[in-house]
Structure 1
Amino acid sequence: MLEERRKVISDSIRVVPHFPKEGIMFQDITTLLLNPIAFQYSIEDFVEQYRDQQVEVVAGFEARGFIFGPPIALALHCPFVPLRKPGKLPGETVSAEYQLEYGSDKIEMSVGAVKKGQRVLLIDDLIATGGTLAAGVKLMKQVGGEVIGAGCVIELPELNGRENLKGTPLYIQVEKEGV
């Protein structure tokens, strides 16, 4: 059943050549979202993977982690915490910086959203170089959260993003070629 689900998930992801720039094979999850069965399979697969891991908080990255994270959090009966780009959250925030190909960026979350000792699951749609997920791990450590794992629909294994996670368990549903 798992392999059948993964095939439906994988087959529902559209590849857009040369987007956003020449040479990139963009993995478009909007077509997965247009397929209710594939979307349901994806959420159910994550929930089954993490159901017995005592997840206390699901944290999802702007923007596509906001699509997958909330239904996973609801199914696991825990809060969802949005991880956003700078200046998007009201009130006091805490941030972690990460490196991009050219320059750097930050992610932020509201102060107090994750408490010391809470078991956190990080969710995003895709892992490429792993910079965003690594920043999420760093951010959770800053506030005393315990990252029990990271989950992504897609992994681009040729970009070696797992290496940036430095041992954080990574669960992926499908591997694709992105470059």
Structure 2
Amino acid sequence: MSLRRVSVVLALTVAFAGLVALGIALLVTSPGDEVNRVFSLWIYQALVVLSVAIAAARAISVRRDRLAWSVIAFSLACSAFAEIYYEAFEPEAYPSIADVAWLAFYPVLYVGMVLLVRKRARSIAACDAYIAMTSSRPFRLPRSSEDALAELERAAGTQFDPNVVRVLAANVRDGQEAEDAA
């Protein structure tokens, strides 16, 4: 296993363990209890900051999704700032700068998610087009696999992601070679 994968698994394990500990502490203690206060303040804040770190690490490690994960990490940082600022400096619920950070969390997270989905949608388009061209339709006969791949390769870089088309073509051709050999 690579070092990057080990670090991601370790971070997710720590986050899950902290979440379980927080849940257990909140279930077995009363609201005014000091143990509840420690868990609800410190452990929860640590988990919020850890979520920012995980999203930022994802932004650093995955080049093609860097912008999307950076925006998601920023939105989580807004939420973390709001939580920490509210707990540390404003125990009374008046409108504050924490409210601005909490409100910024949602639209910024939405933008990050849209960016992430748009990257994934480009890969779906090439596969969907291949299936549509090679399937039988009421208004036309199916194209051969080679004709469909040639059409995808012509449109690579303009309509379809060139990397996805390259991988799709290699997999289809490898599958055909395996069928021919059998």
TM-score of the two chains, using structure 1 as the length reference: 0.26
**Structure with the higher fraction of residues in strand conformation:** 1
Instruction: Specify the structure having the higher radius of gyration (Cα).
Output: 2
| Greater helix content | 2
Higher relative contact order (CA 8 A, sep 6+): 1
